A = this chain, B = another copy of it.
Amino acid sequence: MPDVPEILHTETVARSRLFQVERVNLRFTNGVEVEYERVPGSRVGSVLVVPVLDDNTLLLVREYAAGTHRYELGFPKGVVESGEDVLDAANREIMEEVGYGARNLLRLDVMTIAPGYFGHTTHIVLAQDLYEKRLPGDEPEAIEVVPWSLHDWAGLLARDDFTEARSIASLFLARETLVGSVSR
């Protein structure tokens, strides 16, 4: 694997309340120079949680998604606050979004989304041994919690509103961890 390209220059070329776009001038090890744009991620990233109730029931949330302008079904997720431990953030998010805390939190993976453009990282956490506990969230409307049997994972995949790559990947990772598969 070659060394990463040398960064010759970076400059913020667009900025809004939530987004910052950088222009990056790079020189690859073969001497070729290019100009790219990227959206840097925060140092801490975000967390996506797969909450498992009674060994077999996954808890999903249905929420309005502004990017696609429709309601999307997916696993609870949110930003890790500065200084907050990833597993603490996972537990807080499920208290806010599904009304449960977890006694057993397991890191499954760290994922990126479109890493050619985005520096963002998401920690995937499996939450088990749940107990009822609700923290207030900051959503504009009550979040609908949708329980889903792990046995019917294929039915979840087939839904038109379960589209998010991180949720799809996390469904499979959770299934591997909880059930295993024939080809393991």
Contact = CB atoms under 8 A, between A and B. Distances in A.
Contacts of A153: 183
A34 B141 CA distance: 11
Interface string A148-184: 0001011001000001111011001101000111111
Contacts of A39: 19, 67
13 contacts: A4-B64, A17-B23, A19-B21, A28-B141, A39-B67, A66-B117, A67-B120, A68-B115, A72-B112, A109-B163, A165-B166, A169-B172, A179-B182
A63 B29 CA distance: 13
Contacts of A71: 1-2, 4
A7 B69 contact: yes
Contact of A168 (B64, B72, B169): B169
B17 A183 contact: no
**Which of A7, A26, A38, A114 gathers the greatest number of chain B CB atoms within 10 Å?**
A114
A36 B115 contact: no
A111 B165 contact: yes
Contacts of A136: none
Interface stretch (A8-16, A90-98, A125-133): A8-16
A116 B63 contact: yes
Contacts of A184: 154
B69 A4 contact: yes
B181 A183 contact: yes
A16 B18 contact: no
Contact of A36 (B66, B157, B181): B66
Given A28-B140, A183-B179, A164 B16 contact: no
B181 A112 contact: no
Contacts of A37: 16-19, 66
Contacts of A122: 165
